[in-house]
Amino acid sequence: MSKYHIYGIGNALVDMEYEVDFHDLNILGIDKGVMTLVDEAQQTSIMNHLKDHHHQRGSGGSAANSIIAFSQFGGKGFYSCKVADDELGHFYMRDLLDGGVDTNHHTEKAQGHTGRCVVLVTPDSDRTMCTFLGVSGSLSTQELIEETLRDSEWFYTEGYLATSDAARHASIEAKRIADAAGVKTALSLSDPNMVKFFKQGLLEMIGSGVELLFANEFEAMGMADTGDLPRALDYIKTISKKFAITRGSKGALVWDGRTLIEIAPVKVDAVDTVGAGDMFAGAFLFGLSQGWDHQRAGDLASAASAKLVTNLGPRISTAETRAILQSFL
């Protein structure tokens, strides 16, 4: 039996979440609903504009959110990342461990600044992200723990790593190790801007194909260069054996390798969609790790992500997560 159900690699970002209105985005000149990379000065300017707004913080990053959710359900997860030897870096590592996730905390922390993501939540519950990667931008193969990766059932990574040469190469190397060891591979496309500006890097990370791909419908259509979802699904089948395509309030479409399964949405009043796709991936992977079929795993993921969007932030409590799981047992 493998030591870990899932081994992830991704950016380590401390999420700083603010509730704003549309006027704030216009003043700041920020594209709504996507992730935009900014430098430290730009992010500091944004935070200064929002200094009178209350905010909350937590350990984030797309893959981290998924691995933490996976662990809250009761799975065994490991996450490789890079933080600085600063207050945010120590906060991040403590938060991961408190979330039940083991990590490469014993490796030397870098000088510099831990990555930060300013998350702007508008009244329509949409999220807009402005990310300063900090030392996470130099995430590399040095952060890989090969023995642990080989002793895992799944390897999971995020599309955001396509933005950095070193991080992209680390993801590619981790997939090579996983493939050689018989570890199943999964990837999330993460954000429409990743598909728009870094498609070639994503394809390099996917390589000869992955076992499971996560995307929303806009990312899937972007990868396929089409506005037609059925055509996009046909394309995704050429790069991944199986997939889960989220569609917001319309639920999700899951391909189990033979059948296209419609996952029904759970109707809720959304407050904040930050981390909804990450939660879907974490819950879905947990279901698969327990031997569930794709329908049951998808239904769990739908219920968990629906609960998440009724709260602020990319996470719900372990007690809430376990209560959702209990209804599926």
Contact by Cβ (8 Å): 22, 315:
no
- Model confidence at 271, pLDDT cuts 50, 70, 90, reads confident
Closest to 134 measured CA to CA, from 57, 47, 61? 61
CATH code of the domain in which 85 resides: 3.40.1190.20
Contact by Cβ (8 Å): 36, 185:
no
Give pLDDT, residue 299: 98
Q: Is residue 107's pLDDT more than 80?
A: no
* Structural domain total, the chain: 1
pTM of the model: 0.92
Contact by Cβ (8 Å): 165, 190:
no
Give pLDDT, residue 108: 60
Q: Is residue 315's pLDDT more than 70?
A: yes
Average pLDDT in the 164-187 region? 97
pLDDT tens-digit series, residues 17-32: 899 999 999 999 999 9
pLDDT tens-digit series, residues 234-257: 999 999 999 999 999 999 999 999
Task: Tell whether 99 is covered by a domain.
Answer: yes
Task: Tell whether 309 is covered by a domain.
Answer: yes
- Which residues 6+ apart lie within 8 Å of 99 measured at CB? 59, 68, 71, 72, 315
Give pLDDT, residue 1: 77
Task: Tell whether 104 is covered by a domain.
Answer: yes
Task: Tell whether 57 is covered by a domain.
Answer: no
Residue with tokens 């933005």: 163
Give pLDDT, residue 325: 98
d(CA 100, CA 321): 13
Give pLDDT, residue 272: 83
d(CA 7, CA 151): 9
- Model confidence at 106, pLDDT cuts 50, 70, 90, reads low
pLDDT tens-digit series, residues 189-223: 999 999 999 999 999 999 999 999 999 999 999 99
Q: For residue 214, what are the domain limits?
A: 4-10+63-111+138-326
First-to-last C-alpha distance (Å) of the chain:
23
pLDDT tens-digit series, residues 42-77: 999 999 999 888 888 888 899 999 999 999 999 999
Task: Tell whether 46 is covered by a domain.
Answer: no
User: For the residues of 224-292, what is the DSSP string, one character each?
Assistant: TT-S-HHHHHHHHTTTEEEEEEE-GGG-EEEE-SS-EEEEPP-----S--TTHHHHHHHHHHHHHHTT-
pLDDT tens-digit series, residues 114-142: 999 999 999 998 889 999 999 999 999 99
Closest to 143 measured CA to CA, from 11, 21, 16? 11
Better-predicted residue by pLDDT, 275 or 302: 302
d(CA 233, CA 254): 10
Average pLDDT in the 7-14 region? 96
pLDDT, averaged across the chain: 94
pLDDT tens-digit series, residues 173-184: 999 999 999 999
Task: Tell whether 23 is covered by a domain.
Answer: no
In this structure, the dihedral spanned by the alpha carbons of residues 313, 315, 319 and 320, taken in order and rounded to 10 degrees, is 70
3-state secondary structure of 1: coil
Query: Which H or E run contains 218?
Result: helix 217-223
Give pLDDT, residue 274: 81
Task: Tell whether 15 is covered by a domain.
Answer: no
Give pLDDT, residue 240: 98
Task: Tell whether 32 is covered by a domain.
Answer: no
